[in-house]
Homo-oligomer: A and B are copies of this chain.
Amino acid sequence: MRTTLSDDSRTDDAVTDTPRRAELPELLMLLNPAGERVPNAEYEPFVADVTGDQLASLYEDLVVVRRLDVEATALQRQGELALWPPLLGQEAAQVGSARTLRPDDFVFSSYRENAVAYCRGVELPDLLRVWRGTAQSGWNPYEVGMATPSIVIGAQTLHAMGYAVGCLRDGVDSVAVAYFGDGATSEGDVNEAMIFAASFRAPMIFFCQNNQWAISEPVGLQAQRPIAERAPGFGIPSIRVDGNDVLAVMAATRQALERARAGEGPTFIEAVTYRMGPHTTSDDPSRYIDPLQREEWAAKDPLARVEAHLREIGVLTDELADSIAARADEIAGRFRQGCVDLADPRPLEVFDHVYAEPHRGIARQRSQYAAYLASIGEAQHEGEQR
């Protein structure tokens, strides 16, 4: 080995500090947990047009998606669903961002964005097909502007980036929105998506719901610094927003959308929120969650603050509250009914849509299996629901 001029030979040990970095703006909040508006000259203009009635409509969505979420959990407990990933606590992050999009925008999400899907107009039973196990996707992405959710963590962020570049090439000002979690930020794909998006100035939003947990892992395992600090290093502006504040989420999303539509490229939004339920209905958070932490977050509930505010400004009367509750119940009823009505697929559907064009291998296996089913007397199942 060459003679080492190693650091050991030095006497002075002037280890310097981590290079100084500007602190990122504080968490953006426009409506505090008590339901009071927080003044903010920079971001208020983004929601200045939201009337009391519109806020009430957002509130209704918050109530409805929470109701649906609770209903789905119940359906799972009753054996009607195989699994459900609750979004309890993340209603404002999802509704606030999704209600801000245009129909021609396109969402690429993970599995937990059921409130986003609801806001995109996905039919109620379609929200449940995957979780009941009758299909691997619930809806036609092109009908609602939302891709089939990705279960492989982070993969969808690249798809959003590609779609956004496609929008650029097509000369339209639609925007792609990638939803993902705090855990997802550790996957190579999410980082590659940021690199490509910056390079191509892709009109897209990286919408990270930092709900503090990736199953049992606290966000501190994935990130030593606030997640929003990563994007600027890639050349992507970012913002940390109170994810339990529907107005703040809306304002940040609108800012990002405008930037994207104006040709200024991607924005990264970290919506800081909390997963109030288990990871999924299969999870046992008692093994890892400190109940005190959960309680702290319960005090920052995304619905309560909107309710308080709407009462304060006189929009939410008891009457309206009742009618919203009734509407939520009614929707939940249809949701439940839609769930139990979901038909099982027919056996030979196992061979459908593997390829878009005819395929000799599949054709042969399909016929063989049909013959097999006939031989064991299951032929009658074909052509009719089982």
By a beta-carbon cutoff of 8 Å, the part of chain A in contact with chain B is 1-22, 24-25, 42, 45-46, 48-50, 54, 57-58, 61, 98-103, 118-121, 144-145, 185-189, 191-192, 195, 198-199, 221-225, 229-235, 237-239, 250, 254-255, 257-259, 261-262, 264
Contacts and interface: CB of A to CB of B under 8 A. Distances in A.
Contacts of A3: 57, 99
Contact of A15 (B17, B18, B223, B264): B264
A50 to B, nearest CB: 7
A15 B252 CA distance: 10
Given A19-B238, A232-B225, A46 B10 contact: yes
B188 A2 contact: no
A69 to B, nearest CB: 16
30 contacts: A1-B121, A1-B145, A2-B121, A3-B99, A4-B102, A4-B103, A5-B50, A5-B54, A5-B58, A6-B100, A6-B101, A7-B46, A7-B102, A7-B254, A7-B261, A8-B102, A10-B46, A10-B48, A10-B254, A12-B48, A19-B24, A21-B232, A187-B192, A188-B192, A191-B191, A223-B234, A225-B233, A225-B234, A229-B232, A232-B233
B101 A239 contact: no
Nearest to A55: B5
Nearest to A200: B221
Nearest to A102: B6
Contact of A255 (B5, B15, B221, B258): B15
A233 B237 contact: no
Contacts of A7: 46, 100, 102, 254, 257-258, 261
A13 B258 contact: yes
B2 A118 contact: yes
A32 B13 CA distance: 24
Nearest to A50: B5
Contact of A188 (B4, B187, B221, B224): B187
A102 B16 CA distance: 21
B235 A225 contact: yes
A42 to B, nearest CB: 6
Contacts of A224: 198-199, 234-235
A371 to B, nearest CB: 37
Contacts of A118: 2
A139 to B, nearest CB: 11
Contacts of A191: 188, 191-192
Contacts of A225: 232-235
Contact of A49 (B2, B9, B22): B9
